Structure 1
Amino acid sequence: MTWEVLSMIGTLAFAVSGAIVAMEEEYDILGVYILGIVTAFGGGAIRNLLIGVPVSALWDQGLYFQIALLAVTAVFLFPANLLKHWQKWGNLFDAIGLSAFAIQGAIYAANMNHPLSAVIVAAVLTGSGGGIIRDLLAGRKPIVLRSEIYAVWAILAGLVVGLKIAANSWELYSLFILVTVLRVLSYTFDWNLPTRRLRGY
């Protein structure tokens, strides 16, 4: 049940995030739907390929496709004067999607009895894969490749799930809230990982 709830939350959040980015880039209606769907399902598809789940499993998620389509439609039909205020919420929806999908991906890999390393990789790919594809299609530098802290929170979720620190429902929901809050804090206060610049050499 926890896995399903996190899947719904992640699908909704990333579909909205993808749609908002597409509208910021002034894509047409088809582009908005494509970017919303790709953002919602891209990470899970990449994860499935790497941990040995058939790609066809993606087509068994009819309910999640409906959720994504409804979310994108709602964003697209949202009044333009109000949508301007909603654009700043794109990062929040991205944070929610990252957290929900990172934990969902980790649970998925852990239930298949994969080692800790695979659980962490599954968390990172599921949590950030859709966002990477979204940013690339939108012509932006992927958030995960910037100095801004992003994938670290997915790694944290993978570690906690992989080490069975969080196992029951309330622990997993608490982890979801924690990772979301940490991601929000990291972009609000501009927390960054160390970088080394080579310009001028």
Structure 2
Amino acid sequence: MTDVTWEVLNIIGTIAFAISGAFIALEAKYDILGVYILGFTTAFGGGLIRNLVIGIPVQNIWMQSTLFKFAFLTITIVLILPSIWGGLWKKSIVFFDAIGLAAFAIQGANYAVSMEVPIIAVVLAAIMTGTGGGILRDLFAGRKPMIFYSEVYALWAAIAGLIIGLDWIRGPYVVIILFISIVVLRILSAYFNWNLPHYFNLKKERE
């Protein structure tokens, strides 16, 4: 992956998840500080968890000053234009969440590959980077984390990690195709309510 592609994915994922976190905070009627905290947590939580999982120094998160500026500006715009975000844009929260999931899953997998870790760690890094911010966001907002129940949420991140871990991605154009595919699959799974089997469903089938 080129440096330009890497930075673009970082920026896209940060902006998308900052919006997602700010939306949830506004829905929960948090004050201004709460909106900023939840926005930043969603934007950077996945990278923090990934670093812990694959042994990267946690303090590396604080060396992303440009991304922090993008997140701050994004959250500020959400707060300044509540009528716009609260109307049509609010209905697009799944879209922004899908963008963040795709961008960070790919970025996390590539980060793990650069560390020359086993493929299972690459897949785990993709899942944690793509969904970690959402997990922390939902926990802080008192919601059930989507990764545990919603529309095969983490599966798309795992698939991205597997594809990258197997070295099937060559060139920025293929990265773009993978990114778009994950976004589309995430949106489709939310729209059509695709889910992995639940324990109680399996139990009911056996009875």
TM > 0.5 between the two?
yes
Structure 1, residues 15-57: CA drift from partner, whole Å, max 9, x if none?
A: 0000001001110000000000000000100101111111111
Alignment of 1:149-188 (within 5 A): 149-188=152-191
Is residue 2:113 matched to residue 1:117?
no
CA distance in 1, matches of 2:164, 2:187: 21
Q: Which moved more, 1:117-126 or 1:191-200?
A: 191-200
CA distance in 2, matches of 1:28, 1:167: 45
Is residue 2:52 matched to residue 1:24?
no
Counterpart among 136, 140, 144 of residue 143 in structure 2? 140
User: How far is 1:84 from its partner?
Assistant: 2.2
Counterpart among 41, 45, 48 of residue 42 in structure 1? 45
- Classify 1:147/1:16 alpha carbon distance in 2 versus 1 (closer, same or farther; 3 Å): closer
Partner of 2:76: 73
Counterpart among 84, 89, 106 of residue 86 in structure 1? 89
Partner of 1:130: 133
- Classify 1:81/1:92 alpha carbon distance in 2 versus 1 (closer, same or farther; 3 Å): closer
* 1:197 partner SS: helix
Is 1:102–1:122's contact at 8 Å kept on the other side of the alignment?
A: yes
Is 1:144–1:150's contact at 8 Å kept on the other side of the alignment?
A: yes
CA distance in 2, matches of 1:16, 1:57: 23
User: How far is 1:168 from its partner?
Assistant: 1.4
CA distance in 1, matches of 2:99, 2:85: 21
Q: What count of residue pairs does the alignment treat as equivalent?
A: 201
**RMSD over aligned Cα atoms:** 1.7
* 1:161 partner SS: helix
Counterpart among 91, 96, 101 of residue 98 in structure 1? 101
Is residue 2:7 matched to residue 1:4?
yes
* 1:144 partner SS: helix
User: How far is 1:81 from its partner?
Assistant: 5.7
Normalised to the residue count of structure 1, the TM-score between the two structures is 0.96
Counterpart among 54, 57, 60 of residue 54 in structure 1? 57
Is 2:123–2:161's contact at 8 Å kept on the other side of the alignment?
A: yes
Q: Which moved more, 1:85-94 or 1:126-135?
A: 85-94
- Classify 1:82/1:63 alpha carbon distance in 2 versus 1 (closer, same or farther; 3 Å): closer
Is residue 2:62 matched to residue 1:33?
no
Structure 1, residues 49-84: CA drift from partner, whole Å, max 9, x if none?
A: 111111111111000000000010011111426522
Stretches of structure 2 lacking an aligned partner (at least 5 in a row)? none
